[in-house]
Structure 1
Amino acid sequence: MMGNRMKVDRRTFLAGTAAGASAAAIAGMFPVVAQAADEIVVGGIHDESGFLDIAGQPMSKVLRFAVDELNKKGGLLGKQIKLNDYDSQSNMQLYSQYAQQLALKDKAAVVHGGITSASREVIRPVLRRYKTLYFYNTLYEGGVCDRNQFATGTTPAQTVEKLVPYVMNLWGKKVYTLAADYNYGQITADWVKKYVKENGGEVLSTDFFPLDVTNFGPTISKIQEAKPDILMSVLVGSAHLSFYRQWAAAGMTKEIPMASTTFGAGGNEIILMDPSESDGIVNALGYFPEIQNPVNDKWKADLKAFYGDDMPLLTELSCCTYEGFNLWAQAVEKAGDTDRMKVIEALESGLSIEGPSGKVTIDPKTHHTIRNVYVAQIENRAWGIKEEYKQVPPADTQAVCDLQANPDDTTMYVIKLDE
């Protein structure tokens, strides 16, 4: 069963919700969702609308495909999977609402969702409190240490550490960074600075922008005056697409080359933008659709057959959503149960799958993934793979998190970087 796509109007929700309401009172707002004895409920919380919809829509579509694919194979433990997938509309209050709905009323065995670090930090404590397993399938800044959460996306020590020296060897030592003004952008910008310095370079300036900013004219003038060898983009979301268009309109694509930690990672930038605006951008990620392996070839073909012309964009976020679901399903099979702690223990056994991105292994110490990393460059709306690094560990999070030694840790660490 593919399950339900669910959306509650924000105004309706806010009108009926008082600040500081108890969990029991909030739970009482929700209609009881009937759950058949032969069903296992899987939850999703994805931004199918709002300013993060370019990333959320592919994640939601891929999760629905993964559920349907498994159900056609007979489901799990002799039961069909029911997907309850909610549109959080890029709204913090809705992340909390839907996390509680899935935990308290839907009785989900696992929840997949969240994009920004802020959304994760709304969802994570709710699901931990109500003992509902959580998969965060998004690249992020690293440092979350929580036994109830598994993070399948890449962290800076896996990708930025490869990207910075690659582009510095191509283009030069002087870097100018633009970043989204929230946790991911701020912390990733620090990682950029660290790796630039380690490779003998200099960050001339780092400029931060709220997610709703669309006017980058003054910034482009500042970059022109600074004359960097490389522009590093850590921008996020649909509003920030305006930068790339304004950069191209100013004739800068031929003047200063660009690298990015985010471009094409989760959204459809590569489709929305003209090649004249995006050609030449370099990124390092855990997945690109151009990766050549039999699992990726079959996955792409099966998605095309399932969705036809409505096929979702294939990105690191959508791929990690698929791989996260299958890691959870394999752990359920290994545990012989959907019980949260039994599934966690199965995942902590060093469980791995062969996914579209290659081999993906759960690191028991951090609940992050050990995975392949690829450096690629855009040409005519396609990624050309330039470098491949096998089985890169999440070394940044490993430096601060050891859930084997401290299983009750629930900290979001801001990893200290040497200047």
Structure 2
Amino acid sequence: MQRPHGRLGLGLLAVASAVLLLITAGCSAKPAGETASDQPIAVGSILDATGPLNVLGKPNIDATKLAVKDINDSGGLLGRQLKLISYDSQSDNAMYTQYANKLTLENKVSVLMGGITSASREAIRPIADRSKTLYFYNQLYEGGVCDKNVFNTGPVPSQQLAPLIPYAAQHFGKKMYIVAADYNFGHISAGWVKKYAEQAGAKIVGEEYIPLESSEFGPVINKLQAAKPDVVVSLLVGGNHAAFYRLFSSTGLNTSMKIVSSTFGDGSEHIVLAPNESKGITVAFPYFQELKSPANEAFTAKWHAAYGSDYPYVANSGVTVYNGWMLWAAAVRQAGSLDRDKVIAALESGLSIDTPSGKVSLDPGSHHVTQNVTIAEANDQHGFKILETEANVPPAFEKSVCDLQKNPNTNKQFLP
């Protein structure tokens, strides 16, 4: 077809341009009142609803739902409600990878929270980094992660083992035996136990590493009977490992040696076990349901209103998950934006919030939190007796090796 000429050609071009403009406008226009700001904010969570780690995953899922509800009930963020998109990893790291990709690339969430084990964190972390999706890891862990895109609200060894091991050496004795989960958390945490034991003048007389899927502890009990330590340091994880405490008690070892742990109770082991099987086990966490404060009393009342008065116990990890959501929400409000860099800047401003566990402050350089740490022992009522609390305990090791404000391109895990 020949190109039109003259006024007729100009007229046809004008008509064509107008039609094209109308078509384009019709394709891109939204119904009246519907704008991007009317849409909910997609946020993502990956946790273990099923699988051997669901004893940890289920309370964390409950905490996630409660946190999102609380944020929405208070007006949401930036005038918008949150839309939680959650997936069950089934305690399978391959599923963590699959769902992290889905949340970041398909669902395009503004923040991703999740992971139980350190291996699951390392499945999520590179995916969140590549997609520039802010990632919160809210579990206790072996420490040392230094990544501009990642924030950690769980306690680290310099907050748990640093006070717990000297306490054990002073009160129970200086011969110690390590029983740990056989993956990077257990092995690296054992390194911290050795460091703090040496500083306390204690001696490690043995160590055992047990696969997560194993509930066979007969050989370990035999070795403990032969070694006769004063203290057993438990770094066990998950439902299968609860069998250790039951066998330890049934063989009478609990009358001749003490267990201290940085993990016992976080998977509700003290609820699953009979009181005589857990009584006296000494632990260190930022949060216990028994903490006396108006903030904790209000939180536990709200938790039981949501999940029933017969909910057995609100564990530490549930609160560190809740705190993660509240820190992110506070940063979004301060930034006035969902933009990742602006939210990071708000988090790095030294942001602090009041929580059921006390004041929690984000350390700007390490992206870990300063928080209270309490030493307690399991009682005979499926709970804990508070022994002593230290306020505002910093993530000392992480602060010493990681400064993401000065060196924002650091992306590694520092080891003891």
Q: Same fold (TM over 0.5)?
A: yes
2:305 aligns with 305
1:28 aligns with none
Separation of aligned partners in 2, 1:399 and 1:359: 22
User: Are residues 1:87 and 2:84 paired?
Assistant: no
- The two structures have a TM-score, normalised by structure 2, of 0.89
1:167 aligns with 168
Q: Which moved more, 1:145-154 or 1:208-217?
A: 208-217
Q: Which amino acid aligns with 1:348?
A: E
Separation of aligned partners in 2, 1:313 and 1:410: 36
Q: Runs of 4 or more off by more than 6 Å in structure 1?
A: none
Alignment of 1:14-413 (within 5 A): 37-265=38-266, 267-309=267-309, 311=311, 313-380=313-380, 381-413=382-414
Q: Which amino acid aligns with 2:174?
A: K
1:215–1:225 CA distance, 2 compared to 1 (3 A): same
Separation of aligned partners in 1, 2:312 and 2:98: 26
Superposition deviation, residue 311 in structure 1: 3.9
Q: Which amino acid aligns with 2:273?
A: M
CA contact (8 A) 1:374 1:386 kept: yes
Paired residues, what number?
380
Separation of aligned partners in 1, 2:178 and 2:39: 52
CA contact (8 A) 2:37 2:80 kept: no
The Cα RMSD (Å) is 1.2
Unaligned runs of 5+ residues in structure 2 are: 1-35
Q: Deviations over 1:150-171 (max 9, x none)?
A: 0000100111000011111111
Q: Deviations over 1:157-212 (max 9, x none)?
A: 11100001111111111111101111111011111111111111101011111111
Superposition deviation, residue 112 in structure 1: 0.9
Q: Deviations over 1:253-282 (max 9, x none)?
A: 1121111111012x1211110011100000
Q: Which amino acid aligns with 1:145?
A: C
Superposition deviation, residue 310 in structure 1: 6.8
Separation of aligned partners in 2, 1:104 and 1:312: 38
Q: Deviations over 1:22-62 (max 9, x none)?
A: xxxxxxxxxxxxx9842011110000111110001100111
1:15 aligns with none
CA contact (8 A) 1:67 1:83 kept: yes
Q: Deviations over 1:114-152 (max 9, x none)?
A: 011100001000011001100000010111000100000
Separation of aligned partners in 2, 1:252 and 1:312: 27
Q: Which amino acid aligns with 1:69?
A: D
Separation of aligned partners in 2, 1:182 and 1:318: 23
Q: Which amino acid aligns with 2:337?
A: D
Q: Secondary structure at the match of 2:249?
A: helix
Separation of aligned partners in 1, 2:309 and 2:47: 21
Q: Secondary structure at the match of 1:232?
A: strand
Separation of aligned partners in 2, 1:285 and 1:74: 32
Unaligned runs of 5+ residues in structure 1 are: 1-34
- The two structures have a TM-score, normalised by structure 1, of 0.89
Q: Which has the higher helix share?
A: 2
Superposition deviation, residue 404 in structure 1: 1.1
Separation of aligned partners in 2, 1:69 and 1:403: 31
1:311–1:337 CA distance, 2 compared to 1 (3 A): farther
CA contact (8 A) 1:62 1:312 kept: no
Superposition deviation, residue 309 in structure 1: 4.8
CA contact (8 A) 2:118 2:185 kept: yes
Superposition deviation, residue 312 in structure 1: 7.2
- Give the greater-gyration-radius structure (CA): 2
